[in-house]
Amino acid sequence: MMVRAVLFMTDLGYATKPADSDARQDDWKDRMKLKADRATLLKALAHVQNVVEKRNTIPILANVLLSVKEGRLTIAATDLEIALIEDVPVEAAQDGSVTAPAATLYEIVRRQPEHAQVELDHPGGDAPLALRAGRYATKLVVLPTDEFPKLDAGKLSHRFSIPAQALRGLIDRTRFAISTEETRYYLNGIYVHAAESDGAAVLRAVATDGHRLARVEEPLPDGAAGMPGVIIPRKTVNEIRKLLEDVTGEIAIALSETRIQFTLDTMRMTSKLIDGTYPDYSKVIPVGNDKILRVDTNDFSNAVARVSAITAERHKPVKLSVARDLLVLSATSPDQGTASEELDGEQVEYSSTPLEIGFQARYLNDVTEQIKGHVEFCFADGAAPTLVRAAGDQSAIFVLMPMRV
């Protein structure tokens, strides 16, 4: 049954302007009409349709909410955990709102010729949404706007901004370590909090799945001091990272203990946070690992790739045998054979006692991908967690749990 009702929108729901309008849209009108160019519409639809849950069972969650007000269109999508709205300039417009299937709408717009003008026209109620572009015309089934769920951000206690580049760095160097395991749900995200590192205030991002841990720091932005530690869910991290692809400049972040909100250009993403306590990761970061291996990152990761190619089993370790200025990587597979590669004094620096230790190849690669120049391994022994970092860079450290070899 289609129900028509007045749509209320708060600033965290789907207001026309993502800035700070608290106005409620009381002047709901029946007809919604707009005209926009394909490229503008497509970009926004591409962003929001990522958020739409692909296999959802609630029909309205497959839809985007289109609202026109004061000559602007906002497109919104949500999966009940994340809400993304994007503000788009349109040409001719008549205020109103409607919801339509996200994936279909995106596909239709995508397939229009490059410079097409797209017209959307919704007469109101449960009448279909008409889309016209040149000689193309379609009518899409709509769902009532009042069914579209609103993700309320509540009161956000801390606001700060961070350069897009810095946020990308925090995400890229930690997200590979996020756990996917349901039982330890509190590890299913990046833990972001304010901390102190060598006397400097930092914004710290941590992720771990129990086998490896990544800890990355950026200078603490103004306004972030005293913020609660928050666990940003994996999906939110991945979605925000996609949006960051096209963005430069500053990203505004607002957060509370339960919500986080990112504002980038004309987009605003609001997300729930993982409701849990992040474990005290500091005690698993080894201190005093004094056997230091320094090796060229490229040489090392290429050797790991070549040596581990022998075994199709991802869980098989690559063995590192370290002696004075010598590193031998080796792997064995019961079915396929063995492989080894030597890196010597040209590429390797090591002066402690000889040592053998094994790691999963994928874990080594995940870490070295984030390191340029030289990588430093700080070992305690062949069985204890190993600290990895870029030589001369204190901003990121990684901890790897060895495997038995």
Chain contacts with other proteins (rule: CB under 8 A): 181-184, 187, 208, 210-213, 279, 281, 284, 385, 399, 401
In the complex, least distance from residue 211 CB atom to other proteins, rounded to whole angstroms: 6
CA separation for the pair 152, 83 (Å, rounded): 9
In the complex, least distance from residue 281 CB atom to other proteins, rounded to whole angstroms: 8
In the complex, least distance from residue 216 CB atom to other proteins, rounded to whole angstroms: 16
CA separation for the pair 361, 280 (Å, rounded): 27
CA separation for the pair 348, 274 (Å, rounded): 42
Structural contact between residues 370 and 379, judged by C-beta atoms closer than 8 angstroms: no
In the complex, least distance from residue 207 CB atom to other proteins, rounded to whole angstroms: 11
Q: Which CB sits closer to other proteins, 115 or 183?
A: 183
In the complex, least distance from residue 279 CB atom to other proteins, rounded to whole angstroms: 6
Q: If we measure between CA atoms, which residue out of 281, 314, 293 comes closest to residue 213?
A: 281
Angle at 352 between CA 350 and CA 357, to 5 degrees: 80
Q: Which CB sits closer to other proteins, 5 or 287?
A: 287
Which tokens belong to 79? 């999966």
In the complex, least distance from residue 114 CB atom to other proteins, rounded to whole angstroms: 47
Question: One-letter amino acid identity for 222?
Answer: D
Q: If we measure between CA atoms, which residue out of 279, 254, 255 comes closest to residue 191?
A: 279
In the complex, least distance from residue 305 CB atom to other proteins, rounded to whole angstroms: 25
Q: Which CB sits closer to other proteins, 98 or 213?
A: 213
Q: Which CB sits closer to other proteins, 101 or 385?
A: 385
Q: Which CB sits closer to other proteins, 148 or 398?
A: 398
Q: If we measure between CA atoms, which residue out of 343, 345, 396 comes closest to residue 369?
A: 396
In the complex, least distance from residue 218 CB atom to other proteins, rounded to whole angstroms: 23
Across 273-325, the runs of DSSP E, i.e. the strands, are 291-296, 317-323
Which tokens belong to 316? 């098989």
The number of beta carbons lying within 10 Å of the beta carbon of residue 196 is: 10
Q: Which CB sits closer to other proteins, 322 or 399?
A: 399
Which tokens belong to 219? 């200078």
DSSP string spanning 106-175?
HHHHHTS-TT-EEEEEE-STTPPEEEEETTEEEEE--B-GGGS---------EEEEEEHHHHHHHHHTTG
Q: Which CB sits closer to other proteins, 57 or 180?
A: 180
Q: Which CB sits closer to other proteins, 347 or 386?
A: 386
